[in-house]
Structure 1
Amino acid sequence: QANAVQAVRQVVEYCTEHYGPLSFASEGGSLKLIQARVTGGGYAANGCSLLDEQDFTAQNLSDPEKGAVPGEVFIHELVHQWWGLGNMFDTAGAGSPWSAEGLTVYTTYRIVKELYGDDYAQKHYVNQWRAEVEDYYLNFYIRHPEYLQKLPEAERLRIENDLAYVRWYSEMPLMLLKAEELVGGEEAMDSILHGLFNRELDWSYPYLTYQEFLDACGLTEEDLSLA
């Protein structure tokens, strides 16, 4: 319990400092986290945030795509208060890596890097992303997508889900790391993300799009290509 409290504080302090306070926190800045069985990733308003209890099961907390150890997966799920609830993401279409997961994984990496150092973060995050993306680009169905469409629907959907998982949890974080380098480093990236998090929303379509991110960075999709 003490570790959980510490993790919550670390995430709140880091994300508030780097991106800004949550709009749905209470007037005094407090936030109540409530676990329940919910769909759609959660809900937040009036100083309370409702999180899916499935996020904190032993199975999810052991997911290596979200963190090297359960405590880091816990950090990942809390970061979704900023990237996912605090800022909602559009779906960029089939085959796109853009999602709340990519920015959440990247932010988790940055927090872990600050807590445990460069070597730890490189080994447990960046190196893992690179290995999975290399395998992804060698995947038969990525190189020959026409054959994927010939499979039975259930098998096709299973493979598509597996490939999407790599795009969200490994390819997009690597692209964000490349963007960080191209814009001038971590401080410059933090400034860009702070601006995006606090941008004035168009309530007819309040979602953070990939194009908005690219425009804020002054980059193109080609600039972030890993192939």
Structure 2
Amino acid sequence: MSADTPLPPLALDIDGTLTDEDGRIDPRIFDPLREWPTPVVLATGKSFPYPVALTQFLGIPERVIAENGGVTLVDGAVHYEGDPDRVERATAAFRDRGGDLGWDAADTVNRWRETEVAARLTADESLLRAVADEFDLELLDTGYAYHLKAPDATKGRGLERVAAALDTDPAEWVAVGDSENDAPTFATAGRSFAVANADETARSAADEVLTEGYAAGTLAALDRLRAEFGD
């Protein structure tokens, strides 16, 4: 690559990708993301307010793919994907049959969630999958929670929307992640890295599996890109 070739835009997962193994944001990622000269979008399974807040603390523009593609924010515009009413009916059926999402009364995991529902990994997976099948929904196991969602809401669809809004080709983007919900992002981006702690789905979908895990893996990928693009 020549020194005149711009660094590619980035689509970055948060949990397991910008965090340490205890789930805390690794402060080493702040400066590299703040200084990255092309667009960065945070693509996560968390509900909408969490990645928006993180962009503010990082000091980067508010570009967000939240709820596994259910909510996208770019250039000040919010777009919703999926079928939240169907998810709500499925969740009610899950509870009516004795299911418990597993969170405390405050349920900050779902309190601000708009397009899907997340359950603790201790929840009844077989019942969740039965309900998902009955309501034509998808159940994602991200390694952090089960997500009951519409199949057409994916991080990959969110990246397509972000790329179009920024007048870029998705093939120009580089994605980094660690879970099965990142596989659609990997398929959409032109290049993808799975950090070393990634699950099997993410590892199989990625162009390359890094030897470093968590945020250290993401930082290694960014260093690789700088070296390749002559930055």
TM-score normalised by structure 2 residue count: 0.29
Whose strand fraction is larger, Structure 1's or Structure 2's? 2
Whose helix fraction is larger, Structure 1's or Structure 2's? 1
TM-score normalised by structure 1 residue count: 0.29
